[in-house]
Every structure is written in C-alpha cells, then in structure tokens.
Amino acid sequence: MTNLLETAALRMEFDRAAGGLSAITNKLTGETYAVSGDAFAVETTAFSRTQAEMRQVAWSVTADSVTARYADADLTVEVAYELRSGDHFFQKRMAITFAAAGGVTQITVSRPVFAATGLDIVCYRHPDFDWVTEYVEAKHGWGLRRPADSEPARTFFGRTARGGFFTGVEMAYDNSRLEAKALALGYAPNLKVKAGERLECEPLYFGVYRRGERDGRAADWVPLSAAEVVGTDARSGFNGAAAAGLGVTSGSAGIATPQARDKVLPLPSESAAMAAMTSAILGPPRHGLMAFACGWHCQMEQGEYDTDAKLEGDLRSLEFCVECGLDGVSDCHPWGGESRKMAALGEGQHYELSERPKRFLESARELKLKVVQWPTMNNTHPWKDYGKPFRLDRPEWLRGIEGEAHRKPNADDCRHREANCLACEPFYDWLQKIILDDALGAGLYDAWCMDGDFWGTGAYFHTVLSVTCLAENHEHLPGDANYACQRRLDRMIAEVRRRHPGIYIAMCRPPMDLGVWANRHVDACFTLIESGTGGSNIAAGDEVRTASRMRVHHHFFPHWMDWSLLFPSYGNPAQYPDWPNGHIDYLMLSAMSCSPNLLLYLPTKTGIPDADKAEIRKWLDWGRANVKYILVRHDLFDWPGKGRVDGSAHLIGDRGLIFLFNPSDEEKVAEFALTPESTGFTGTGPVEIVQEHPASERHATFRPGASVRWLLLPETAVVLRVGEQ
C-alpha cells in the first residue's frame, strides 16, 4: 500500500511503523522537509500516554486521507490526516475515547522535528493590538495596554530562501511551543471526561507556500503609525473604556510611539497562503453585501423601553435606516432592553418579548429590516450596574472565584466578577434553550451576535484573558476554564446556524479578540476599531482599510468575514460628535473594497442631510450590484496613509474592479500590473480598463503582464472597471 497523499502543492509521505509523517514536499518550491517525531501524547489526572506506548490496531489510506487507530486499556485514539484535492494545506485530526472517567490536562497533537537546508522556524503570535492601542491614543487621547504576550493564537512559520511552511493548532490559547528543534503542537483542555466519551480534539493545520516578489520588500509591508494615518487634529474625545464602564483608564496627552518594526510579522507570501487556507476552511461566504446600523452607536435607546416615547423614537430611527438603504440594525440593548427581566427568570420560566420590544421587531420586519438579536452569555447586562448573573437561584451555575465576588461592570479586576460559567453544562443547556427557542424561536430576528467575555464583563481587548473557575461541578477541572468555555461558545454558534440556516451570524467579543479560529460558523466579525472613526471621511477611509488589512494579513481572517465600521460613534448621549460632511464616496468605497459586511454608526435622531442619505443608499445599491467582485480581494502592495496611494483588485479571471485611494492633497500616480501577484489577474488576452468613478472618459487597453499607471486627483477614491462594458 502506498503511504502518501499528494496534490499539486504538496506531497505527504508516511511511515506506518512509526505511525506518522516521514517527509513533506513543498511542490511549489521543490523542497522536502524531513519529519520525525510526528506523534501524539495525552496527559490526564491519572496517567500520561504517548503514541509509542500504544498499539496500532488499524491503518488505512484513501485518495485524500490517511487514518490510524491506537488502543490500550485506558484509551482509544483515532488519528486522521486529510488532504483535499486542490489544497495547499492538510489537517491532522484526533479523537480520543476514554475507558474510565477522569480529567484530561494536556493533548499534544504532534511533536515534529523538521529538517531542510536553510530552514528557520519562528513563532508568530496573533491577533496583536499594538496598532489599535496606538490608534486610540492618537485619535481619542486615552490609552489601555493589553498584557504582554496575551495574543491568543500561535502560528509557526518554517522559512527557507525559496518558501516554507506554516503550522499550528486551530484554536485560541493553545500552548504550542518551539522546544529546541521540536514543535510541541497542543493545548491544555483541562476537561472532565466520562467513561466511554469520545473527545473530538482541535485540528492541526499545515500548509506550504512559495516566496514572491513582495517578500523582498516586506520591511515596507506594514501599517503606517496611527498618527500618520489618522493624524491628531480632530480627536473625537470618545473614551471607549469609559463607555464600556471600565474601572481604570490611563489617559495620555501625547501620541503613542510608532509600533515596533523588528518583531516577528508574517511575510506577504505567508499571509496570502494563511488567508487562503482559513477562507477554504471557514468559507464560503453565505451572504452578499450586508449593511447594518449599530443601534448602540446610533443614538438609539440603551436602556429598556419603559415609555412609549422611547419606543417611538427608535421606530423613527428604523425609518432613518431604511432611507439610507440599510439591510438591518443591531439591537441597541442586550435582550431587547429586558436585562432586568432576564435576571429574574426562575425555574421553568421562559423568555418572552414584552409588548414594546415586540413592536420594535414587528416594525422592523414591516420595513424589511433585519434585526440582530444581542444576547449575553454569563451576565444579563455586563455593561450596566444592574446586570446580574442569570438564575441566581442556581448558585452552582456561577463561576468559582477566589475571595469575595463583586458586581462592578467591566472592572479591571475581572477575576472577581460574579458571573455564570459557560462550561457549566446545566447552565449552558438552559441558556441555549433561552436563545434558540425563546428569542430566535419568536421568528422576529434574522441575525444574531454575541458580545462580552468569559469573565462576565463587557470586556475590552485588555481583559480578554484566559478565564478561571474553581467550581468542581462544571465540565472543566478546577482552575483553567478557558478551553471549556471556548468549546461551549463554538457549539452554540454552530447550533444557531444549524437550527436557523439562513440567519446572519456576526460576532463581537470574545471571538473578535480570540482570533480567526474562534470564528467558525460566523458570517462577520467585528473589526479592530470599534470606537468610531471620527474626523474626516478621508481619514476614516484610511482607518477602515488599515484595520481590514491587519485583519487579513496579520490575523489571517478571510476578508469577507471582516465587518468594516463607518463614521463616528453616537453612543454617548452627553457628547455627540459632528457629522463628518464630504467625501462619503471615499469612506463607502473604502469599506466595500475591504469586505461585503458594513456596520454604520449614524445619528439616527439628530439626522444628516438628505443628500448624504441618498449617497449612502446609492453606494450600497452599487455594492449589491457588484457583490460578486467584492467577495474576492487582492490588495495592492502599499498600505493606506498620507503620501501613499493604495488599493485593492477584485478580479475574477480577467474581469472585475480595481479600487484606488489617494488621501493626499496632491495628485498621485497609482501603479499596478496585470499579473497574478500584483492584482490577481489571470486573463490571457488584452483587456480594456475604464474609469467608472469619478466619472471620466479615460480608458485604455492593456495586455496581460502590462504595468498600468493611473493618475489620481487629490483626496479621491477611484473605481476602475476591468474587461467589462
């Protein structure tokens, strides 16, 4: 039997006696990486077991998989390597069945040693928030720092002069590490297991890439400092930490220093290969262009509808959204504003919409607007003092903490926050029933999201730490509950999608901070900058494109999963910013060049000019007509910022769109090539390029491989149409 799997990109050779990989050939470069030590290990509270200590009882090879099974008196372990036709990556999966009840503390999926000429292996931690921290200081004048080394995901890049590989575990907060020459790829579940239980482990990914021309200029393939992108002349004064109720904020009168350039960052070729893999695993996108208003940031009620006047005001806000051509609105308050009612639910009681929230949803349905249901997962309102854990009649459902519990919303000392534990099985089952049967089952929501963190606070990126719970009656062993909570949230998202297959699923926290692998089954994930763009729409467009590039190139999100955010926040009733007039086309095109998902912050009560509403609606209609091109994206080399021209190509073969942006106050020339690396162009014959926006008679015909130069006027967004008339 031939022990190998192969595609056009890579070949995998196996040693059946050793029970793992013996070599991987990167067919894109012709390099072979010798592999030794590709074996699993399992540690429990009662024993430790390595693959070598177990008996191989089955081995089979098909066209796209190699599977093996190992067994002894304590465990049965199934291992599968899957390489699909056309892919440049494979996945290694494991499932463990335990003979007796116990606790599993560590799973090592593989511990390979790679050997190849000139091979260098580096660890890249993501998602990082250095640029976001700098942005907040530059734009809003306050600062918060995320703890050092708290980036939750690890990707290991094996680099040679011609290309290399990338590998890691598909989860947040794994504990993979480089030990001498070996990669220990695994995680600490800290889970209880039952006798006979089959535990599906988190997959390992491994892919290959070839270096490209852009890698030689990788030192310049980074975002400009936030001060260079957004400037400091139009600070909005919006304090995101204060708005979230955080107990401590660290103000800063100065500007953060530019982000370090010497830390490990992915090469352009590595980013492209990683993002292509995550798109293949998580995709395809299920929806077209989806433009929503964020109710909380759009002057809508943040408390309950305790008067008809408050409801009527939000009904007028819905009409405003229709006038702007939006698809929907996210609920402006958790649980439809009925957090107090949620906190009072007891045994056998159901969540039923009160009259006013129901009228809001029915009105939205009549206006053909989708509404995002906004539940919470361990506190009825993590952002308000009156928020409480669910079901206080069941104290065993609470997270176990050291010392005295408190109920301060979003306190920096999140470890003492009183909240439910998502990894308490009876609580999870109750909450899932409330969400799926009572809330979504009412039939008035067409979209769904989650927000908050596993601690029970409203979170900001600095509080997204590995959660602990000392309770002894939950699914996890006492102590580290992070994986158990991640696993439960992932299951809930999957169940929402299974039960409501047409629903639009958008995530805020914790998935937005936990990285790409926390967003399985998700259609859109909140972008990096959530406090509102502010200032001019030129600067706002540059911010949107910078954040989206970081999401794709540094965090490896599929571009169609990013949720571009437009306009300043109107979430603080005491200080509404001015509406940014002018250059709406620049911001709208920036957002659509990034993603098909748009989230708008709008003054739905104080209003905007009718002409601006019409322009927003015009561009959304244009985006829907061109969504097949928006669903593909190939960024030009330069990142956004003053003094630069940047953009992205959205081509299918030899047809599509190219977006170009000149934020400078002087004319600039954009340069790109009709090649796969520069623009993703794969045509074989001449094509015509026409400037569609701003309207112009300029057009020209170019052959494949040609270098194109296009003049851009100052502070202008340009759309070129390629190969279509």
pLDDT tens across 446-462, in order? 999 999 999 999 888 77
Q: Is the confidence at residue 247, as pLDDT, over 60?
A: no
- pLDDT category at 250 given cuts 50, 70, 90 is very low
- pLDDT category at 131 given cuts 50, 70, 90 is confident
Question: How far is it, in rounded angstroms, from Cα 642 to Cα 544?
Answer: 14
- pLDDT category at 129 given cuts 50, 70, 90 is confident
Q: Nearest Cα to 531, choosing from 570, 505, 576, 560?
A: 570
Neighbours of 590 (CB within 10 A): 31
| Tokens (6 digits) for 194 | 């039952």
DSSP of 480-530, one letter per residue?
A: E-HHHHHHHHHHHHHHHHHHSTT-EEEE-TTHHHH-GGG-TT-SEEE-S--
Q: Is the confidence at residue 181, as pLDDT, over 90?
A: no
Handedness of CA 329, 330, 332, 334 (dihedral sign): positive
| Angstrom distances, CA of residue 584 to CA of 292, 557, 644 | 17, 26, 20
pLDDT tens across 558-573, in order? 999 999 999 999 998 8
Tokens 């081995």 found at: 59
Q: How would you label 663-696 residue by residue, b for 16+ Cβ within 10 Å and e otherwise?
A: bbeeebebebbbeeebbbbebeeebebbbbbeee
Q: Is the confidence at residue 646, as pLDDT, over 80?
A: yes
pLDDT of residue 251: 43
Q: Identify the residue with better confidence: 145 or 310.
A: 310
699 phi and psi angles, rounded to 5 deg: -160, 160
Q: Is the confidence at residue 225, as pLDDT, over 50?
A: yes
Q: Is the confidence at residue 249, as pLDDT, over 80?
A: no
Question: How far is it, in rounded angstroms, from Cα 541 to Cα 518?
Answer: 27
Tokens 């004319």 found at: 667
> What percent of the chain has a predicted confidence (pLDDT) above 70?
95
- Cβ 124 vs Cβ 264: under 8 Å: yes
| Angstrom distances, CA of residue 354 to CA of 165, 340, 368, 603 | 55, 12, 21, 26
Q: Which of 201-205, 242-246, 444-448 has the lowest mean pLDDT?
A: 242-246
Q: SS in 3 state form for 551-582?
A: HHHHCCCCHHHEEEEECECECCCCCCCCCCCC
Q: Is the confidence at residue 475, as pLDDT, over 60?
A: yes
Mean pLDDT of 630-644: 92
Task: Report helix, strand or coil for 658.
Answer: strand
158, containing H or E segment: strand 153-159
pLDDT of residue 253: 32
- pLDDT category at 338 given cuts 50, 70, 90 is very high
Q: Which of 138-147, 400-409, 588-597, 653-662 has the lowest mean pLDDT?
A: 138-147
Q: Is the confidence at residue 412, as pLDDT, over 80?
A: no
Which one-letter DSSP state was computed for residue 313?
H
Q: Is the confidence at residue 194, as pLDDT, over 90?
A: yes
Q: Identify the residue with better confidence: 235 or 222.
A: 222
Q: Any idea which fold 4-117+163-210 has?
A: Beta-galactosidase; Chain A, domain 5 (2.70.98)
Helices (H), 28-88: none
Q: Quote the pTM value.
A: 0.94
pLDDT of residue 244: 59
Q: Is the confidence at residue 86, as pLDDT, over 60?
A: yes
Q: Nearest Cα to 587, choosing from 573, 600, 578, 574?
A: 600
pLDDT of residue 261: 38
Q: Is 2.60.40.1180 the CATH classification of the domain at 634-722? A: yes
Where are the domains positioned within the chain? Answer: 4-117+163-210, 634-722
Question: How far is it, in rounded angstroms, from Cα 682 to Cα 684?
Answer: 7
Average predicted confidence (pLDDT) for the chain: 92
Neighbour-count burial of 588, counting CB atoms closer than 10 A to its CB (0-12 exposed, 13-18 middle, 19+ buried): buried
pLDDT of residue 256: 37
Q: Is the confidence at residue 26, as pLDDT, over 50?
A: yes
Q: Is the confidence at residue 720, as pLDDT, over 50?
A: yes
End-to-end Cα, the chain, rounded Å = 55
Q: Is the confidence at residue 429, as pLDDT, over 60?
A: yes
Question: How far is it, in rounded angstroms, from Cα 69 to Cα 82?
Answer: 15
Q: Is the confidence at residue 478, as pLDDT, over 70?
A: yes
Please give the radius of gyration of the chain, using alpha carbons only, rounded to the nearest integer: 26
pLDDT of residue 236: 61
Mean pLDDT of 408-416: 76
